[in-house]
Amino acid sequence: MDSQFSTVFPATLPRLGVLGGMGPMATIDFLRKLVLATPAQRDQDHIPLVVRFCAEVPDRTEALTGRGASPRDALIAAARELAAAGARALAMPCNTAHVWHDAIAEALPSLPFLHIVDGVVDELAAHQSAGPIGLLATSGTLRAQIYQSRARNLSWLEPTTDELERLVMPGIRAVKASRQTEAHALLNEAARTLVARGARAVVMGCTEVPLALEPLAQSERQIGVPLIDSNAALARGCVAWAQAAARNTATACA
């Protein structure tokens, strides 16, 4: 069969656990992109999923800026629920929550935990993007240096404090409130501002941002550089994990 999964009985494919709900629409977007990225010919070729919609988790940016409770314990508890439900790896379609990636991974050492930044770095390599990389992300993600600390070899260009407060954070909040026209105008301007300051590509380092800038091809034409979708990058990383797991299972059963 053409599918890369179909040589393995569907029941042997390991489940992927998704720590979602941060925000809700971003998780739906991730799941859609995961399905589209999967080289499936039939329902049974898709990755089995267990999704924990963690909308109740304290706000990540509020925690990182000292204005709210930490989500650490709630995230670890949700990850344990996924493990109990049979997940054999974890993915989390929220950039800012990756501040607690290592804490979650340490609490569940037997589960691989795919990192969203790794997927983005692979996408940048595929685009052969050289020069400064613009980063549209929450103030919490920027403060925690999630991208900069994991991809130190890249030159990152961040929004200024003014751009963050006037464009980026209001744009992200507009997505969460389903005000798409407002969100598009704000985040499109934020991306254009990064390009005007020298960005050769722009990473949408908050999973709400791609929702505001769709359709992606049209936004890329307006902005003038590649837009790297962290949700899509994570989805492709999950497919690669599932393909490797399927091959390993097939080899073990041979």
The residues annotated with a catalytic role in the active site are: 94, 206
Question: Amino acid identity of 177?
Answer: A
Question: Amino acid identity of 39?
Answer: P
Nearest alpha carbon to residue 15 among 227, 238, 248: 238
- Number of residues that make up the chain: 254
Question: Amino acid identity of 131?
Answer: G
The Cα–Cα gap between 127 and 32 comes to: 22
Neighbour count for residue 175 (Cβ, 10 Å): 25
The Cα–Cα gap between 119 and 107 comes to: 23
The Cα–Cα gap between 229 and 214 comes to: 10
In this structure, what token pair is assigned to residue 121?
Answer: 């770095």
Find the helix or strand (DSSP H, E) in which 72 lies: helix 72-84
Unique residue bearing structure tokens 């404090």: 161
